[in-house]
């Protein structure tokens, strides 16, 4: 069931919320340079983008958004501008990493290739119908444990790979306000399939997905009243994740979470976000029945 994804089947989509992408792209150069990049400039950003030489890339701006979607009610501002990149991609797979994230490093100090790990997660089967206690059975050195039904060992296609974060974890504003100095230092060396009918919070910070299958679920469909531009103030990716998981379950395809990690620097001020009307909390409590059984 495993197969090989070629580099030319993958677009890397980057939302440019700040004009200077130099540090971000230089750090990722050894990993990104063999892929085509789609860079979407946040529509309210006025300064010119600074993009170092040597990347095969295409920049989309406010005028492209206006040309393509016109007077749509869909708002591609803030982090949501990345979704315009998903819409413009014609590749089978999309990988997207926030520009406040750098490659995580292994114990020897070498950068971890998050793109290769997302691709590997998408190339190998998922196992949503039965839980394997030794995590990903398709990983080198792992297997299905005793008692795992043989009829389910082929697995099914994986359509979404959700990666994690070292340093600044993706906590909500109240949690960050309560624990301002908490950092995630624990590297859990595992990938697993999120079981069928189990809902998960999907973070859009570090993901890879099968655009042909899941693309239509990953659009900025949910905007909160008074929503800001920081992750702490938005729920777009969380909503997309619930849709994507529901669609994957319906199609009997798989969603994986775990590796790869990226190193995430601080983003957004929790207190500033708390000052805004924090509609996301209330909303999540109303959405939960959508997924509760």
Q: Binding residues for its own copies, per CB under 8 A?
A: 129-135, 141-152, 162, 164, 169-172, 175, 179, 182, 184-190, 194-203, 231-232, 235, 237-238, 241, 257, 281, 284-285, 287-288, 291-293
Nearer to its own copies, 14 or 232 (CB): 232
The packing angle between helices 279-287 and 236-251, to 10°, is 20
In the complex, the smallest distance separating the C-beta of residue 229 from its own copies, rounded to whole angstroms, is 15
Nearer to its own copies, 186 or 225 (CB): 186
Nearer to its own copies, 43 or 268 (CB): 268
Nearer to its own copies, 94 or 191 (CB): 191
In the complex, the smallest distance separating the C-beta of residue 225 from its own copies, rounded to whole angstroms, is 18
In the complex, the smallest distance separating the C-beta of residue 199 from its own copies, rounded to whole angstroms, is 5
Closest CA relative to residue 210, chosen from 222, 201, 218, 220: 218
The helix (run of H) or strand (run of E) holding residue 67 is helix 62-69
Nearer to its own copies, 51 or 169 (CB): 169
Count of CB atoms situated within 10 Å of the CB of 143: 12
CB 11 within 8 A of CB 93: yes
Distance (Å) of CA 273 to CA 39, 175, 270, 281: 26, 12, 5, 12
In the complex, the smallest distance separating the C-beta of residue 68 from its own copies, rounded to whole angstroms, is 28
CA distance 12 to 203: 16
In the complex, the smallest distance separating the C-beta of residue 130 from its own copies, rounded to whole angstroms, is 5
Nearer to its own copies, 62 or 256 (CB): 256
CB 169 within 8 A of CB 263: no
In the complex, the smallest distance separating the C-beta of residue 125 from its own copies, rounded to whole angstroms, is 16
CA distance 151 to 227: 47
């Amino acid at each position: 069931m495993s197969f090989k994804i070629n580099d030319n089947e993958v677009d890397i989509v980057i939302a440019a919320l700040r004009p200077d992408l130099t540090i971000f792209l230089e750090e990722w150069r050894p990993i990104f340079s063999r892929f085509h990049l789609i860079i979407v400039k946040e529509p309210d950003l006025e300064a010119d983008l600074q993009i170092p030489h040597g990347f095969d890339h295409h920049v989309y701006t406010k005028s492209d958004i206006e040309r393509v979607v016109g007077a749509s009610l869909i708002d591609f501002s803030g982090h949501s501008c990345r979704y315009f990149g998903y819409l413009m991609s014609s590749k089978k797979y999309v990988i997207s990493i926030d520009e406040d994230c750098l490659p995580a490093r292994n114990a020897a100090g070498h950068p971890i290739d998050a793109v290769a790990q997302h691709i590997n997660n998408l190339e190998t089967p998922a196992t949503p119908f039965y839980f394997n206690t030794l995590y990903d059975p398709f990983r080198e050195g792992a297997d299905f444990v005793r008692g795992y039904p043989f009829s389910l060992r082929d697995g099914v296609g994986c359509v979404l790979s959700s990666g994690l974060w070292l340093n600044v974890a993706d906590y909500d504003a109240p949690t960050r306000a309560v624990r301002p100095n908490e950092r995630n230092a624990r590297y859990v060396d595992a990938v697993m399939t999120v079981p069928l009918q189990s809902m998960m919070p999907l973070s859009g910070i570090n993901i890879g997905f099968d655009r042909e299958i899941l693309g239509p679920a990953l659009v900025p469909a949910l905007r909160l009243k008074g929503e800001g531009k920081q992750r702490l103030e938005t729920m777009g990716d969380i909503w997309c994740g619930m849709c994507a998981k529901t669609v994957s379950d319906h199609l009997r395809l798989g969603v994986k979470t775990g590796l790869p990690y990226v190193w995430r620097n601080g983003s957004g001020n929790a207190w500033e976000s708390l000052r805004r009307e924090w509609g996301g909390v209330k909303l999540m409590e109303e959405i939960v029945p959508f997924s509760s059984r």
